[in-house]
Structures are given as structure tokens and as C-alpha cells.
Structure 1
Amino acid sequence: MEQYDYSDIKPLPILTDQQDELCRIMYTEDYKQLMGLARALISVNELSARALQLTAQVIDVAPAFYTIWNYRFNITRHMMTESDDTVSYLNKELDWLDEVTLNNPKNYQIWSYRQSLLKLHPSPSFKRELPILKLMIDDDSKNYHVWSYRKWCCLFFNNFQHELAYTSKLIELDIYNNSAWTHRMFYWVNFKDVASEVELADELQYTMDKIQLVPQNISSWTYFRGFQELFHNKIQRESEVVQFATSFIASVLSLPIDLPQDLPEIESSYALEFLANHWSADPRTQDSAVKAYSLLAIKYDPIRKNLWHHKINKLN
């Protein structure tokens, strides 16, 4: 704050003690002064270096204040046009944003602001974004805001070359990382029209290998199902897939279900769910689907029995 003179600005007050006020917020005097200055500058739309500095102070104490983010963007866009080196100016702004990002991992306004800056940038670089993305995901591998931004970057830069290897590394560290599995599916959705049979076969084997490691993992089974549905016209290995899933459920499909307590334990209820869903799509195998859903309801996933009964009713 000492860098610039704000003595000519009359802070706009933060109104308190209103007639119908239920709970008065006890702002500190420093906070009221800072916000009062910011409100005053916003009211006259001052687009200056001191206004930019003030927004940094406000974001430091109130990082979720989306109005100040929008104001900072307007200042940056204006000052960029007056700069002799637009690229350096915007890179400096991104450098500042990196520091804010590291200190505010759950703040979604940051990522919207980054998108806006990259859209302004004459030569934006995905390579520049990768380190901050890595740091943030290393800190919290399931941070929704960071993953959403990474998806946006892939589309914005039309660059997916890092994604399979990156998700493989994360899945190696934590096979239950649903965010990594979801991002991996995002990759294939964007390449569904150009993926080769060899690539698809390799990915199918990759998924089955991961399921073998931890059969009771909803993330890998959901991915397996999604991958099958996405490429059902290209993957002609239905019998192999069914045989693979069946290997995790012992012989329960051939056993009577009137005595649930006599049914054996199985390696994966998700394998049974996968088979039920697979069989329900074909009228010729819907009886098998009903049996599988019934087994889930009475023995292997009774907590969701209402869902399984609903699916059975849809088949009848």
C-alpha cells in the first residue's frame, strides 16, 4: 500500500448497523479502509497501476471476492494495451497469479482468471501452465478446480500429448484416484474418432491389469465400462470382456438365490454390476441381468438394493 498514494480517494463506507440487520459483521478498521478504497476506485472505474496494486491487497485478504477479480482483469486488459511488451506484461501477471494460486488451492475464481489471461495472451503456452498444475495436483490429487482447468487447457491449446502418461503416473501412485481415471476418459472421448485398434487393445489391457491389482475398485470398473461403451463398435472382444468380469464373481450366477447366507463371497461386486449392465442391453441376455441385479440386491450390494430393484423393474 505504501507504493502508491491514495490520499485523493475517499473510501466508500461498508454499511453496517442497518435496521433489519440480524448479525453485524465486525470488520477491522484496516479491512474497512481497504475495501472502502477498492469500492471507490471501482465506482469510478479507475484503470491504473495503483488500482492494480490495490486489487492484489484485496485478493490477499478476500480471495473469493469475484468482483475484485473482474476489476483486476479490466485493469490488466487496459494496461496491457499501453505496455511496450504485451507478452512480458501478461507473463508478469501470470507470475503473480502463480503465487496466489499456491496459497489458495480451493479458490475457483483463480482458474477463471487464468483462462481470461490466456485468452488475452498473444502467445500463450501450455508448457508454462504444466508446473503450476503439477504442484496443485501433487498437493491435492483430487482438486476439482485444477482438473477442470487442465481439461480446459487441453482443449484451448489442442494439446493432449501429456495426458495418458500423466494419468498413468497418478494411477500408479494411487489406483483409487477417480480424478485421474476420469481425466483419462476425457482423453479418449476427444480421440474416439481417430484411435487405432492397437491403441484401444492396449488401453483395454491396461485397464484389466489395473482391475486385477484391486478388483474391488469402483474407479477402474467405471472406467472399464465407459471405455467399453465409448468404443463398442471398434472393440470386438465381447466374450473376452465377459469372461474377464465373470472371473471375479466365482460361480454365483449358477447358484440359487433363495438362501443368500449360503452364497459365497466374491472378489468384486463391481464386476457383477458391470455384467448386469452389459447383459441388460441385449434382450437375449436380460434374464442374466435380472439374476445379477438380484444378487447385488440381496447379498453383494444391499445398501443400494432400491437401485437394483429399479433396474430390474425397467427390464420387466
Structure 2
Amino acid sequence: MEEYDYSDITPLPIQTDVQDELCRIMYTEEYKQLMGLTRALISMNELSPRALQLTSQVIHVAPAFYTIWNYRFNIVRHMMAESDDTTSYLNKELDWLDEVTLNNPKNYQIWSYRQSLLKLHPSPTLKRELPVLKLMIDDDSKNYHVWSYRKWCCLFFNDFQHELAYTTDLIQSDIYNNSAWTHRMFYWVNAKDVASEVELADEFQFIMDKIQLVPQNISSWTYLRGFQEFTHDTIQQDEKVVQFATSFTADVLSLPIGSPQDLPGIESSYALEFLANHWSADPASRDSAVKAYNLLAIKYDPIRKNLWQHKINILS
């Protein structure tokens, strides 16, 4: 704040000063001075270096103040137009933003602001974004703000070359990382048209290998289901996948449905759910689907009994 002179600005009040106000917020004098100056500059639409500096201070104390992010963007856009080197100017702004980003991992305004800067940048690169994304996901692998932004970057730059290997590393580290599985599907949705049958077959093997490690993992089974449906017109793996899923169900589908106590344990209820969903798509195998849903309801996943009964009713 000492870098610029604001003595010519009269701060605008940030409180109503209504008598007998029900719940008055107890702002510090420093906060009222900072926000009052900001309100005054916004009302004047001052787009200057000192206004930019002031927004830095406001973001430091109130990073979720979306109005100030919009104001800062207007300042940057104006000053960039007056700069002799717009690329360097915006790179400097991105450098500042990197530090703010790392200190505010749950702030979604940051990611919208980053998108706006990249759209404004004359020569943006995905390479510059990847390190901060990695740091953020390493810190919190389930941070959906970061994952959403990473998806946006892939689409914006039309660059998906890093994503398969990246999600492989994350899944190797944490096989339950549903965010990584979801992003992996995002990769295939955008890479399917250029993927070979060999690559798709390799992906099926990758999924089955991970299920073998942890059979009772809903993330990998949901991914297998989605991947099978997604690639059905390109590569036929139904028979192989059904045999694979059946191997985790202790052959209970060949047994009569008696009391729950008479039924053996199985390695994965999600395998049984996978089979039920698969069979329900074909009228010729719907009886098998109904039996699988019944088994889930009475023995292997009774906590979702109402869901399984609903699916049975649909098939009846």
C-alpha cells in the first residue's frame, strides 16, 4: 500500500450505519479503509497500476470476493493494451496468480480468472499450466476445481497427450482415486476417434488388472462399465468382460436363491452389480439380471435394497 498514493481518494463506506441494525459486522479499521478505497476506485472505474496493486491487497484478505477479480481483469486488460510487450505483461500476471492459486486451493474464482487470462494471452501454453496443476492435485487429489480447470485446459489447447500417463500414475498411487478414473474417461472420450483397437484392448486389460488388485472398488467397476459402453461399437469385449466379472461372484448365479445364510460370500458386490446392469440391456438375459439384483437385495448389498427392487420392477 505504501508504493502508491491514495490520499486523493475518499473511501466509500462499506457499512450502512443503520440504527439498531440487527447484526452489524465488526470490521477492523484497516479492512474498512481497504474496502472503502476499493469501492471508490471501482465507482470511478480507475484502471491504473495503483488500482491493480489495491486489488492484490483485497484478494489477499478476501480471495473469494468475485467483484474484485472482475475489476482486476478489467485493469489488466486495459494495461495490457497500453503495454509494449503484452506477452510479458500477462506472463507476469500469471506468475502473480500462481502464488495466489497455491495459497487458495478451494477458491473457484481463481480458475475462472486463469481462464480469462489465457483467452486474453497472445501465445498461451499448456506447458506453463501443468506444474501448478500438478502441485495442486498432489496437495489434494480430489480437488474438483483443479480437475475442472485441467479439463478446460485440455479442451482449450486441444492437447490430451499428458492425460493417460498422468492418470495412470495417480491410480498407481491411489487406486481408489475416483477423480483420476473420471479424468481418464474424459481422456478416452476425446481420444476415441484416434485410438486403435490395440490401445482400447490394452485399456480393458489395464482396468481388469486394477480390479484384480482391489475387487471391491466401485471406482474401477464404474469405469469398466462406462468404458465398455463407450467402446461397444468399436471393439467387442463383452464375452471376456462378463467372464471376468463372473469370476468374482463365486458362481452364486448358478445357485438357487434361498436364505441369505445359505449363500456363499463373494469377492465383489460391484461385480454382481456390473453383471446385472450388463444383462438388463438384452431382453434375452433379463432373467439373469433380475436374479443378480435379487441377490444384491437379499445378501450382497442389502443397504440399497430399494434401488435393486426398483431395477427389478423396471425389468418386470
Q: Give me the TM-score of the superposition, normalised by structure 1.
A: 0.98
Number of the residue aligned with 2:225 = 225
Corresponding residue pairs, total: 316
Matched, 1:272 2:269: no
Number of the residue aligned with 1:246 = 246
Q: CA deviation at 1:88?
A: 0.4
Q: CA deviation at 1:192?
A: 2.2
Structure-2 separation of matches of 1:20 and 1:7: 32
Structure-1 separation of matches of 2:313 and 2:81: 63
Structure-2 separation of matches of 1:14 and 1:136: 34
Q: CA deviation at 1:151?
A: 0.3
Structure-1 separation of matches of 2:38 and 2:303: 53
The CA deviation string for residues 178-220 of structure 1, in whole angstroms up to 9 with x for no partner, is 0000000000011222221011000000000000000000000
Counterpart secondary structure, 1:23:
coil
Number of the residue aligned with 2:123 = 123
Unaligned runs of 5+ in 1: none
Number of the residue aligned with 1:182 = 182
Q: CA deviation at 1:19?
A: 5.3
Number of the residue aligned with 2:295 = 295
Please show how residues 8-19 of structure 1 align to structure 2 within 5 Å. Answer: 8-18=8-18
The CA deviation string for residues 159-184 of structure 1, in whole angstroms up to 9 with x for no partner, is 00000000000000000000000000
Number of the residue aligned with 1:102 = 102
Unaligned runs of 5+ in 2: none
The percentage of aligned residue pairs carrying the same residue is 85
Runs (4+) of structure 1 exceeding 6 A deviation are none
Counterpart secondary structure, 2:14:
coil
Q: CA deviation at 1:13?
A: 0.3
Say if 2:257 and 2:295, in contact at 8 Å, map to a contact too. Answer: yes
Please show how residues 43-122 of structure 1 align to structure 2 within 5 Å. Answer: 43-122=43-122
Counterpart secondary structure, 2:186:
helix
Number of the residue aligned with 1:142 = 142
Structure-2 separation of matches of 1:6 and 1:209: 64
Structure-1 separation of matches of 2:95 and 2:23: 39
Say if 1:175 and 1:210, in contact at 8 Å, map to a contact too. Answer: yes
Structure-2 separation of matches of 1:288 and 1:68: 59
Number of the residue aligned with 1:160 = 160
Structure-2 separation of matches of 1:311 and 1:93: 53
Structure-1 separation of matches of 2:17 and 2:297: 58
Structure-2 separation of matches of 1:24 and 1:302: 51
The CA deviation string for residues 261-304 of structure 1, in whole angstroms up to 9 with x for no partner, is 11111100000000000000000000000000111111111111
Number of the residue aligned with 2:37 = 37
Number of the residue aligned with 2:235 = 235
The CA deviation string for residues 21-63 of structure 1, in whole angstroms up to 9 with x for no partner, is 4321111110000000001100111000000000000000000
Q: Give me the TM-score of the superposition, normalised by structure 2.
A: 0.98
Say if 2:228 and 2:237, in contact at 8 Å, map to a contact too. Answer: no
Say if 2:249 and 2:266, in contact at 8 Å, map to a contact too. Answer: yes
Structure-2 separation of matches of 1:197 and 1:160: 19
Moved more, 30-39 or 185-194: 185-194
AA aligned to 1:294 is: N
Structure-2 separation of matches of 1:21 and 1:315: 60
Q: CA deviation at 1:226?
A: 0.3
Structure-1 separation of matches of 2:14 and 2:176: 47
AA aligned to 1:210 is: K
AA aligned to 1:9 is: I
AA aligned to 1:59 is: I
Moved more, 174-183 or 233-242: 233-242
Say if 1:16 and 1:25, in contact at 8 Å, map to a contact too. Answer: no
Q: CA deviation at 1:235?
A: 1.9
Q: CA deviation at 1:258?
A: 2.7
